[in-house]
Structure 1
Amino acid sequence: MNEQDTTVFNQGLIDFVSASPTPFHAAASMAKKLRDAGFSELKESEHWSLEPGGRYYVIRNDSSLIAFIHGREPLVDAGIRMFGAHTDSPCLKVKPNARIISSGYYQLGVEVYGGALLATWFDRDLSIAGRVSFRSASDSPESRLVDFKAPIAMVPSLAIHLDREANRNRSINAQTDIRPILMLADDNPDQFTFAALLLAQLQSQYPDIDAREILDFELCLYDTQAPAVVGLRKEFIASARLDNLLSCYVGLEALLDAGDEQSSLLVCTDHEEIGSASACGAKGPMLEQFLQRLVPNTSDRLRALDASMMISADNAHGVHPNFAQKHDAEHGPVLNRGPVIKINANQRYATTSETSALFKMLCSEAEVGVQSFVSRTDMECGSTIGPITSAEVGVKTLDVGVPTFAMHSTRELAGTEDAHALYKVARQYFARPQAPGRFAGR
Structure 2
Amino acid sequence: MRTSPRFDRGHTDDLMSFVTASPSPYHAVASAAERLEKAGFRQVAETDAWDAEGSTASPAGTGGRYVLRGGALIAWYVPEGAAPHTPFRILGAHTDSPNLRVKPLPDSGAHGWRQVAVEIYGGPLMNSWLDRDLGMAGRVFLRDGSTRLVDVDRPLLRVPQLAIHLDRSVSSDGLQLDKQRHLQPVWGLGNDVRDGDLIAFLEQELGLAAGEVTGWDLMTYPVEPPAYLGRDRELLASPRLDNLLSVHAGLAALTAAASAPENLTSIPVLAAFDHEETGSQSDTGADGPLLGSVLERSVHARGGSPEDRARALAATVCLSSDVGHAVHPNYAERHDPTHHPRAGGGPILKVNANNRYATDGSGRAVFAAACEKAGVPFQSFVSHNSMPCGTTIGPITAARHGIRTVDIGVAILSMHSAREMCAAADPYLLASALTAFLES
**What interval of TM-score do these two structures reach, taking the shorter chain for normalisation?**
over 0.9
Instruction: Calculate percent identity across the aligned residue pairs.
Output: 42
For the pair 1:51 / 2:56, whether they are aligned, the reply is: no
State the Cα distance separating 1:50 from its structure 2 match. 2.5
Residue 437 of structure 1 aligns with which residue?
none
Q: AA paired with 1:9?
A: H
Residue 115 of structure 2 aligns with which residue?
107
State the Cα distance separating 1:191 from its structure 2 match. 8.9
Residue 38 of structure 1 aligns with which residue?
40
- Is the CA contact (8 Å cut-off) linking 2:85 and 2:299 kept in structure 1? no
Residue 26 of structure 2 aligns with which residue?
24
Alpha-carbon distance change, 306 to 158 in structure 1, aligned in 2, over 3 angstroms: same
For the pair 1:283 / 2:291, whether they are aligned, the reply is: no
Deviating runs (4+, > 6 A) in structure 1?
A: none
Q: Number of aligned pairs?
A: 419
Once the two structures are superposed, what CA deviation does each residue of 1:38-65 show, in whole Å capped at 9, x if it has no partner?
111000111123234221000012x100
Residue 206 of structure 1 aligns with which residue?
none
- Is the CA contact (8 Å cut-off) linking 1:125 and 1:154 kept in structure 2? yes
**Cα distance between partner residues in 1 of 2:318 and 2:210:** 43
SS of the equivalent of 2:183 reads: coil
- Is the CA contact (8 Å cut-off) linking 1:71 and 1:264 kept in structure 2? no
Q: AA paired with 2:285?
A: G
- Is the CA contact (8 Å cut-off) linking 2:347 and 2:410 kept in structure 1? yes
Structure 1 residues 364-379: aligned runs within 5 Å:
364-379=372-387
Unaligned 5+ runs, structure 2: 51-57
Structure 1 residues 110-129: aligned runs within 5 Å:
110-129=118-137
Q: AA paired with 1:29?
A: S
Once the two structures are superposed, what CA deviation does each residue of 1:303-360 show, in whole Å capped at 9, x if it has no partner?
0111210000000100001000000011120000010000000110000101111211
State the Cα distance separating 1:74 from its structure 2 match. 3.4
**Cα distance between partner residues in 2 of 1:6 and 1:179:** 41
State the Cα distance separating 1:214 from its structure 2 match. 2.0
For the pair 1:93 / 2:93, whether they are aligned, the reply is: no
Residue 225 of structure 2 aligns with which residue?
226
Residue 431 of structure 1 aligns with which residue?
439
Residue 358 of structure 2 aligns with which residue?
350
Which deviates more, 65-74 or 285-294?
65-74
Which deviates more, 4-13 or 226-235?
4-13
**Cα distance between partner residues in 1 of 2:108 and 2:325:** 37
For the pair 1:270 / 2:271, whether they are aligned, the reply is: no
**Cα distance between partner residues in 1 of 2:48 and 2:65:** 14
Structure 1 residues 180-191: aligned runs within 5 Å:
180-185=185-190, 188-190=192-194
- Is the CA contact (8 Å cut-off) linking 2:12 and 2:428 kept in structure 1? yes
Alpha-carbon distance change, 194 to 334 in structure 1, aligned in 2, over 3 angstroms: same
SS of the equivalent of 2:128 reads: helix
Q: CA RMSD in A?
A: 1.6
State the Cα distance separating 1:10 from its structure 2 match. 0.4
Alpha-carbon distance change, 264 to 184 in structure 1, aligned in 2, over 3 angstroms: same
Structure 1 residues 190-205: aligned runs within 5 Å:
190=194, 193-203=197-207
SS of the equivalent of 2:201 reads: helix
Q: AA paired with 1:60?
A: R
- Is the CA contact (8 Å cut-off) linking 1:53 and 1:260 kept in structure 2? no
Unaligned 5+ runs, structure 1: 204-208, 433-442
**Cα distance between partner residues in 1 of 2:348 and 2:316:** 21
State the Cα distance separating 1:196 from its structure 2 match. 1.0
Residue 179 of structure 1 aligns with which residue?
184
State the Cα distance separating 1:291 from its structure 2 match. 1.1
